[in-house]
Homo-oligomer: A and B are copies of this chain.
Amino acid sequence: MRNRDSIREKILNQPSYWVEGINSFLYNAILEYMEDNNMNRTELASHLGISKGRVSQILNDGEINFSIEKVVQIALKVNKFPVFELKDKNSYLDDLNSNNHKTKDLSYYENDSFSEVYSKNKKDSKIIHLYSNNEFTKQLAL
Known: A66-B67, A67-B65, A67-B66. Is A85-B111 also a contact (CB below 8 A)? yes
A137 on interface, CB distance cutoff 8 Å: no
Binds B, one of A39-47, A53-61, A73-81, A126-134: A73-81
Q: A79 to chain B: closest CB distance in Å?
A: 5
- Residue A110 interfacial (CB < 8 Å): no
Contact A86–B75 (Cβ < 8 Å): yes
Interface size of A by Cβ–Cβ distance < 8 Å? 40
> Which of A21, A23, A82, A92 has the most CB atoms of chain B within a 10 A radius of its CB?
A82
Q: In the complex, are the beta carbons of A68 and B72 less than 8 A apart? A: no
Q: Is the CB of A86 within 8 A of B80?
A: yes
